[in-house]
């Protein structure tokens, strides 16, 4: 219990969602698969999955590079436990991706759908590059500003704050990335209530720090105005970074 109380609120939310995450994270699974597919390294020896969750990216990496040594790191112990049950041969580390310990050098480092939760995403990227082997590559996918605009618009219609986590701006990695692109990943839910439920069931429901929860009657009114299917769109930025001192053309 003491360890749980010492977790940041964001980590507690994901830790509590470990049992429901896989069933409701189809978009996150697809994004992880896309991220692995964009890596050009055909025979990496050592791979690091930062913010591994229950293992969507680890699974894709194992499928593509079955002989590689994969290390999966996350701060939520229940997420790590779920990954260990599925992939017992993968080494796991309970740790903070914002300040990863010295783990040696990696040919490939991945982080999917986690960087935006860290307090200083750009600083984290700079630190992660230090873990790359010569000619290694860092591949990152994260939602950026403009994600879930549909929910923002719905809230704006009745004059209330959407409360969404503040996603990084699209240029937050300017000068660091050797490749960057943004893709829309829309997901359609039965209704807006199902959208909110999916956020909670995947641990992604933490609000921005200055947000006050909507009063129940206001939330009911908002949801009543969003009858029928509700589409929510991730705007995902896919980044590739070279190690410090590498030529961007490598």
Q: CA dihedral defined by 178, 165, 17, 8, rounded to 10 degrees?
A: 90
Sign of the CA dihedral running 47, 115, 126, 9: negative
Residue 1: is its pLDDT beyond 50?
A: no
Q: Tell me the CB-side half-sphere exposure of residue 125, using CA atoms within 13 A.
A: 25
The per-residue pLDDT for range 50-69, each reduced to its tens digit, is 999 999 999 999 999 999 99
Residue with tokens 């929510």: 232
Q: In what order do the strands lie in the sheet with 46-50?
A: 91-94, 69-74, 46-50, 106-112, 132-143, 230-242, 179-189
The structural domains of the chain, ordered by start, are 2-144+166-184+235-242 (3.40.50.150)
- The residue-averaged pLDDT of 179-192 equals 96
Tokens 């040594």 sit at which residue? 69
pLDDT at 4 over 70: no
**pLDDT reading at 5 higher than 80:** no
Closest CA relative to residue 241, chosen from 48, 49, 108: 108
Q: How confident is the model at residue 243 (pLDDT cuts 50, 70, 90)?
A: confident
Any residues with CB less than 8 A from the CB of 73 and at least 6 apart, and which? 48, 49, 50, 51, 52, 92, 93, 94, 95, 97, 100
From CA 93, how far away is CA 84, in angstroms rounded?
Answer: 11
pTM as predicted: 0.93
Q: Across residues 33-43, what is the average pLDDT? A: 92
Q: What pLDDT digit, counting tens, does each position of 137-165 carry? A: 999 999 999 999 999 999 999 999 999 99
CB 24 within 8 A of CB 201: yes
Query: How far, in Å, CA of 178 to CA of 135, rounded?
Result: 13
Going by C-alpha positions, the residue among 148, 151, 139, 150 that lies closest to residue 181 is 139
Residues 33, 37, 43, 49: is their CA dihedral positive or negative?
Answer: negative
What is the separation of C-alpha 59 from the centre of its chain, rounded to a whole number of angstroms? Answer: 15
Closest CA to 110 of 183, 59, 167, 75: 59
Average pLDDT along the chain: 93
Burial class of residue 198, CB neighbours in 10 A (0-12, 13-18, 19+):
buried
């991730």: which residue's tokens?
234
pLDDT score at 131: 95
Q: What is the pLDDT of residues 213-239, one digit of tens each?
A: 889 999 999 999 999 999 999 999 999
CA distance 29 to 147: 17
pLDDT at residue 2 greater than cutoff 70: no
């Amino acid at each position: 219990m003491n360890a749980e109380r010492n977790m940041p609120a964001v980590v507690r939310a994901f830790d509590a969602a470990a049992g429901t995450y896989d069933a409701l994270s189809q978009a996150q699974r697809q994004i992880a698969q896309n991220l692995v597919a964009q890596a050009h390294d055909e025979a990496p020896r050592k791979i690091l999955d930062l913010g591994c969750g229950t293992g969507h990216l680890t699974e894709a990496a194992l499928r593509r590079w079955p002989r590689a040594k994969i290390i999966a790191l996350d701060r939520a112990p229940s997420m790590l436990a779920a990954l260990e049950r599925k992939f017992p041969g993968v080494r796991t580390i309970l740790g903070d991706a914002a300040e990863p310990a010295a783990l040696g050098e990696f040919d490939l480092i991945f982080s999917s759908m986690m960087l935006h939760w860290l307090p200083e995403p750009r600083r984290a990227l700079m630190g992660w590059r230090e873990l790359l082997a010569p000619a290694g590559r860092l591949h990152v996918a994260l939602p950026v500003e403009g994600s879930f605009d549909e929910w923002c618009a719905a809230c704006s219609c009745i004059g209330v704050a959407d409360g969404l986590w503040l996603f990084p701006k699209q240029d937050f990695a300017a000068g660091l990335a050797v490749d960057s692109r943004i893709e829309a990943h829309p997901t359609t839910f039965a209704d807006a209530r199902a959208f909110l439920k999916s956020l909670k069931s995947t641990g992604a429901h933490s609000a921005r720090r200055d947000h006050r929860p909507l009063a129940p009657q206001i939330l009911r009114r908002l949801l009543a105005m969003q009858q029928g299917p509700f589409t929510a769109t991730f705007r995902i930025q896919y980044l590739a970074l070279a190690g410090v001192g590498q030529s961007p053309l490598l």
